[in-house]
């Protein structure tokens, strides 16, 4: 069996290739992709060749929802027609998997997938698109849980990307006051229309510090970094209260670019927390929040592609222009 896939043949290049899938075994399922979503952070780092463990050529991506076409004889908890979330798959040849979500079909271990819906109860396309971002939104969920965000707290989020926006929504659900800062004016204008209840400020505004001090005169309880720009993090740390929490959730592969001022962190006796990936509870909590619209994902999907024009999404990822938040690929029936 053969399938089409997005492949990064080398750094800063992307193409569509045909892959020959492995023969399914007794513990495998064959999954036909319905929707996959591009991760604007992880996949860009892989494309640049800087993500830990990156090798070329590879199939990127970890956001994928599909329908089971076939189940191995040892699989009893799933059946053909069920909707599942997962990216694990095997194929022949030199191309490796960097989680491997962007494939039309996959053959892989059934226990590497999460059940989403029963056969005959498929969510509609818009819900599938939103649910495809469960893992990325789950990173926000893990951060908010890990910091124990609670009512009355003030939270400053560096970066109005997917993780920051979802974290702001989750903090608001807990009764905390969250504000995001970002330098991309096009993105800020988009968010003002898409999510008018989420506070966003421009990081290049000369009056930013005074605005933030006005919002949190006693200092922010939590600062969440989703960008990894050391100078910005250092500046925002100085707006924190003593014994607050600094949450580091960006990618820090370029070590020379991410050296923060530890003295300022020490002076304030801050607790520094980091996360990597998500846990099972984050996955289930996040999927429920997306299903019930407690976390608004649909408004963050700025670009939609088909399997025929999906490389346009990678051109956006590569250049960063125009601004892009959520990008999904609808693989069709």
Which whole number is the average pLDDT over 72-98?
Answer: 96
pLDDT in tens, 159-191: 999 999 999 999 999 999 999 999 999 999 999
260-308 pLDDT, tens digit per residue, is 899 999 999 999 999 999 999 999 999 999 999 999 999 999 999 999 9
Residue 209 has pLDDT above 80, yes or no: yes
**How does pLDDT run across 35-50, given as a tens digit for each residue?**
999 999 899 999 999 9
pLDDT for position 258: 73
Mean pLDDT estimate for the chain? 96
pLDDT at 146 over 90: yes
Q: What is the mean pLDDT of residues 14-23?
A: 97
Residue 247 confidence class, pLDDT cut points 50, 70, 90: very high
Q: What pTM value is reported for the model?
A: 0.95
DSSP string, 220-257: EEEEEESS--HHHHHHHHTTEEEEEEEEE-S----GGG
Q: What are the chain's domains?
A: 2-133+297-330 (3.90.180.10), 139-274 (3.40.50.720)
Residue (of 124, 37, 106, 100) closest to 310 by Cα position: 37
Across 103-116, average pLDDT: 97
Residue 254 has pLDDT above 80, yes or no: no
In this structure, are residues 212 and 201 in contact, taking their beta carbons and an 8 Å threshold?
yes
């Amino acid at each position: 069996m053969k399938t089409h896939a997005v492949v990064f043949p080398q750094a800063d290049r992307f193409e569509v290739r045909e892959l020959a899938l492995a023969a399914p075994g007794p513990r495998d399922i064959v999954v036909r992709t319905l929707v996959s979503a591009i991760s604007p952070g992880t996949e860009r780092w892989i494309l640049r060749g800087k993500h830990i463990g990156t090798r070329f050529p590879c199939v990127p991506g970890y956001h994928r929802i599909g329908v089971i076409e076939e189940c191995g004889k040892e699989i009893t908890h799933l059946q053909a027609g069920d909707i599942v979330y997962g990216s694990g798959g095997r194929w022949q040849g030199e191309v490796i998997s960097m989680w491997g979500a962007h494939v039309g079909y996959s053959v892989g271990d059934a226990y590497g997938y999460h059940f989403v819906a029963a056969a005959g109860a498929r969510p509609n396309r818009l819900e599938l698109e939103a649910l495809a971002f469960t893992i990325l939104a789950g990173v926000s969920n893990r951060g908010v849980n890990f910091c124990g965000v609670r009512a009355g707290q003030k939270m400053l989020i560096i970066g109005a990307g997917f993780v920051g926006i979802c974290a702001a929504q989750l903090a608001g659900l807990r009764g905390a006051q969250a504000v995001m800062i970002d330098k991309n004016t096009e993105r800020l204008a988009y968010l003002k229309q898409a999510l008018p209840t989420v506070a966003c400020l421009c990081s290049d505004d000369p009056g930013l510090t005074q605005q933030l001090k006005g919002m949190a005169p006693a200092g922010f309880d939590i600062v969440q970094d989703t960008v990894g720009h050391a100078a910005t993090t250092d500046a925002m740390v100085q707006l924190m209260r003593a014994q607050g929490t600094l949450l580091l959730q960006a990618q820090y592969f370029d070590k020379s670019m991410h050296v923060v001022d530890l003295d300022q962190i020490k002076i304030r006796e801050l607790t520094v927390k980091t996360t990597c990936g998500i846990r099972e509870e984050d996955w289930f909590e996040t999927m429920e929040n997306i299903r019930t619209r407690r976390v608004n994902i649909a408004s963050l999907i700025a670009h939609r592609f088909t399997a025929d024009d999906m490389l346009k999404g990678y051109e956006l990822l590569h250049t960063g222009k125009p601004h892009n938040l959520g990008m999904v690929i609808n693989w069709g029936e």
